[in-house]
Structure 1
Amino acid sequence: MRYPKDHGQQTRRRIVENASYGLRQTGADGLSVVDLMELADLTHGSFYSYFKSRDALVVEALALAMDQTIAHWLDLTQGLSAEKGFDAVVESYLSPRHRNNPARGCALPALAADIGRSGPEARRTFAGRLEKMIDIIARLIPKRSSSDAREAAAIAIATMVGSIVLARAAGDKRLSDALLEAGRQALRTQAASGGAERPQCTEPGFERRKS
């Protein structure tokens, strides 16, 4: 049987895409090479034809998942004012739909804890994409210095991620919904106050890194 010229690339992309969904659903530590290949309807014997290690696939799947969130945020806020764009991201992120569909959702609540225990390449990939996510939210917080906007953006992302983690963990739907609303309300309050009451960060790190 003859395959198209780019069959290998298509298969590799399929493995990465399905691994990305599986890892967000189960966690980075929850799937073996056999499991990851089964997600793409392939046998594990061909795995090393495409990836040098399981960790290499995890890094690519993580990058894809975070890139999808970045693209979603950019699409969601295109053409909106900063205020409306910020609200759109918050409402989309802290929604029952996002809570109920971790496999297609943001990688931060699904994988952050696992990546913290992973190797340096996975952590670098995670940090690089997180910087981009902070940049997007910071642009939705105008009339502040760059460092102040990035600090506020980091606080907003941390609030959203923590709210989703707790909402997914809660066994009671009413409690879960209340946690989502608490997160939304906290971010509305932050936006309305213009950050005047936000805690001051005494450690460096929110300034944009220089390449």
Structure 2
Amino acid sequence: MFGRILLISAFIVGSVTSDTLLEEYEENVGYTIEGKVYPPSTMTYQWPRNSVVVINGGEYKGFLKEDGSFIVSNVPSGSFVLEVLNTDYIYEPVRVEINPKGKFRARKVNYIIPSQVIQVPYPLKLKALSKFRYFQQREQWKITDFLFNPMVIIMVLPLLLMLILPKMMNDPETKKEMEQLNLNKMTSDMPEISEMITSFFNPASASSKTEKSKTSGKTNKKRN
């Protein structure tokens, strides 16, 4: 009887320990994320060596094979951000979600709108977006930069006016307009001859006229 109890208890302890060991093994072993990184158009033989696949900023790492495929092992269930680090090219990061049952789902990383889900196929297929620019490209010389330079404009505009104005003055219509303007100015500035003569021979009457005109102007202002 006592032996049976020992056997049953040993069996129970063994089953519990085996379950815990299996859980620990699954947690330690984890899952495997796989995919392929496509090289850029100008691929070199050192391209796989210069590329590393990292998860969550380096928590898990994977290296590329010669054909661009990769495997990252011992990844537990959860949500992870996978990135391809290359010295010359930029790759779009991907979020990989692994549920406890071992199902994979991959989607684009969107830090601005996290709720927006754009799924991508799994196993992953990653392509280069653009090339890194470590140095600012030097600006090329353009003729517009020279023409729109303020110093050039200040120097060129007077020359253009000197060339264009004489041609405009030779035009008969513009000549007539200018003469009319000058005549109007002269007539408005010159006083009447009768007033000049009366003021010369009779200054008192001229002063009275001017006073009358001033008083009439004041009365008109008051009325207004």
Same fold (TM over 0.5): no
Structure number with larger C-alpha Rg: 2
User: Which structure carries more relative contact order (alpha carbon 8 Å, separation 6+)?
Assistant: 1
More helix by share: 1
TM range (shorter): under 0.3
- The two structures have a TM-score, normalised by structure 2, of 0.20
* Greater share of strand: 2
Using structure 1 for the length normalisation, give the TM-score.
Answer: 0.21
